[in-house]
Structure 1
Amino acid sequence: MNATYLGLELRRFARDRANLFFVVVLPAFLFVIFGATQEYTDARIGNGNVGLYILVSMAAYGAVTATVGVGGMAAVERLQGWGRQLGLTPLPDRTFVTVKAALAVLVALLPVTLIAVVGLVTGAEGTVTAWALSMLAVAVGSTVFALFGLCAALAFRTEAAVSAASGMVVILAFLGNIFVPLSGVLLTIAKFTPLYGYVALARYPVTEGRLISNDGRDLGTEALWVPLLNIGVWALLLGVVATLLVRRGRSRQ
């Protein structure tokens, strides 16, 4: 790990105020609107209340937005020649990858931390274990989606592709049961989308697998293997696609 290079990357991220707002502040704002200010957030669910359930959802959305952007811009930098510039320095490729991975985790922690603080102040409640495991799942699981941004950038080779990928996260969040609890056919479809397994796994310490509909109906309990299988398959798929796109890029050079 090169602490100097990581520090430079963090400062560069901090200078992009527009990106900082959408990655860090917006998810917390959404939590306040859809969670903290609603009367139903005090209702109990599993090892916490609905407020904590919504908090985990918004934290997951913010973390994924962060890691998609980091992964995508890393690919764009390489495509635009930054990799050749780094090749003139003693910095090895593994350090570049390690720094970007660390950057993704640290950036993902920013919205997670802010939302957790807001949640504690506004009444999100749960056991210490539920809080700790859910926040850990949000932060670590979001790194999978750096591959999503990486694939978008490698496929279309422009910064616009990274912005488009970040925009697609909003659509995938709706389809993945993050913003609005789904039921029926929509819930069945959601289980095949990329974000479903990630957010369901993050919520699991709170809900213990219990599913609820938008009107509060109990939809039963989901086994832990369902979200684990979902996130495992998508991680493998995105990893394979990213590898193929890297090879395609090398063959063109």
Structure 2
Amino acid sequence: MNATYTLLELRRITRDWSGTFFTAVLPAFFYLIFGSTVDAKSATAGNGNVAMYVMISMAAYGAVTATTSIGGHAAVERQQGWGRQLGLTPLADSSYIGMKALIAMTVAAVPILLTFALGAATGAHGSAAAWAFSALLCLVGSAVFAVYGLLVGTAFRSEAAVGAASGSLVIFAFLGNVFVPLSGTMLEIARFTPLYGYVGLARYPLTEGQLSATVSDPLWLLVANVVVWLTVFGTLAVVFVRRGRERQ
């Protein structure tokens, strides 16, 4: 990979203050509102407390917002001629993909670190294993939504569409039991939505799948949700990439 190109890309992204706000600051702000100030923040939640439960949820949401945006813009860049420009350089496709993956993970780490730091400073408590593994799962699992961004970018070839894809994550979050605890029929529906498995896995080191005194998610269900959606996003992205090549 080309370190110079990677650093230039990171600088370009960080100059986008509005994007940085929504990617990093907004999830941390949500945590402060919904996690650190509620009366029940010190109540027990699995291997920690409610504040940590909300902290993980908001960090995961920020991470997928970042990777969706990076993946989508990478696809749009390639289809609007940047790929041909790079083709004039010694940079291989595999290096380009590797750099974009590194950039996506780096940007996704920012809201995770910021939200976890605020959590530690405002009363989020949990076991050491829960802190470490939840942060790792937030970061690794967010890669699924880089593929989602890639799908939208290849399907619509528009930066506006990529922005809409990031916005759609708000809907996925509400439907996926991220912002508001769901129950009954809505919870059953939520289990089939894209964010449910990812956020459930991120919380698993804390909750061990327990949603309430009587309801829990087995680990296999959360893993299956992530694998299925990764397959769906990946397959559709390949279809649209091939369709785009046939038009050229």
Which band: TM-score by shorter chain?
over 0.9
Give the counterpart letter for 2:229 in structure 1. W
- The aligned residue for residue 51 of structure 1 is 51
Alignment pair present for 1:209 and 2:204? no
Q: CA separation in 1, counterparts of 2:169 and 2:30?
A: 15
Q: CA separation in 1, counterparts of 2:229 and 2:41?
A: 31
- The aligned residue for residue 116 of structure 1 is 116
Q: Deviation at 1:209?
A: 0.8
Task: State the secondary structure of the residue aligned to 2:124.
Answer: coil
TM, length-normalised to structure 1: 0.97
Q: CA separation in 2, counterparts of 1:130 and 1:182?
A: 23
Equivalent of residue 220 in structure 1, options 202, 206, 215 = 215
Q: How does 1:91-102 map to 2 (within 5 A)?
A: 91-102=91-102
Give the counterpart letter for 2:136 in structure 1. L
Give the counterpart letter for 1:237 in structure 2. V
Q: CA separation in 1, counterparts of 2:16 and 2:215?
A: 44
Give the counterpart letter for 1:42 in structure 2. S
Q: CA separation in 1, counterparts of 2:102 and 2:217?
A: 32
Q: Deviation at 1:3?
A: 1.1
Give the counterpart letter for 1:132 in structure 2. A
Equivalent of residue 237 in structure 1, options 224, 232, 240 = 232
- The aligned residue for residue 22 of structure 2 is 22
- The aligned residue for residue 249 of structure 1 is 244
Q: CA separation in 2, counterparts of 1:240 and 1:219?
A: 36
Task: State the secondary structure of the residue aligned to 1:210.
Answer: coil
Q: Which runs of 4+ in 1 moved over 3 A?
A: none
Q: CA separation in 1, counterparts of 2:125 and 2:26?
A: 22
Q: Deviation at 1:45?
A: 1.4
TM, length-normalised to structure 2: 0.99
Percent sequence identity is: 58
- The aligned residue for residue 82 of structure 2 is 82
Alignment pair present for 1:136 and 2:131? no
Q: Deviation at 1:220?
A: 2.2
How many residues matched? 248
Give the counterpart letter for 2:160 in structure 1. A
- The aligned residue for residue 8 of structure 2 is 8
Q: Deviation at 1:222?
A: 1.6
1:182-209: CA deviation from partner (whole Å, max 9, x where unpaired)? 0000000000000000000000000011
Q: Deviation at 1:221?
A: 2.2
Q: CA separation in 1, counterparts of 2:195 and 2:100?
A: 22
- The aligned residue for residue 166 of structure 1 is 166
Q: Which runs of 5+ in 2 are unaligned?
A: none
1:1-49: CA deviation from partner (whole Å, max 9, x where unpaired)? 2111110110000000000000000000000000001110100111111
Q: Which runs of 5+ in 1 are unaligned?
A: 213-217
Q: CA separation in 1, counterparts of 2:12 and 2:225?
A: 34
Give the counterpart letter for 1:128 in structure 2. A
Q: Deviation at 1:116?
A: 0.7
Task: State the secondary structure of the residue aligned to 1:89.
Answer: coil
Q: CA separation in 1, counterparts of 2:91 and 2:152?
A: 26
Q: Deviation at 1:156?
A: 1.0
Q: How does 1:31-42 map to 2 (within 5 A)?
A: 31-42=31-42
Q: CA separation in 1, counterparts of 2:201 and 2:233?
A: 18
1:142-191: CA deviation from partner (whole Å, max 9, x where unpaired)? 01101111111111111110011011000000000000010000000000
Q: Deviation at 1:219?
A: 3.6
Alignment pair present for 1:146 and 2:171? no
Q: Deviation at 1:69?
A: 0.2
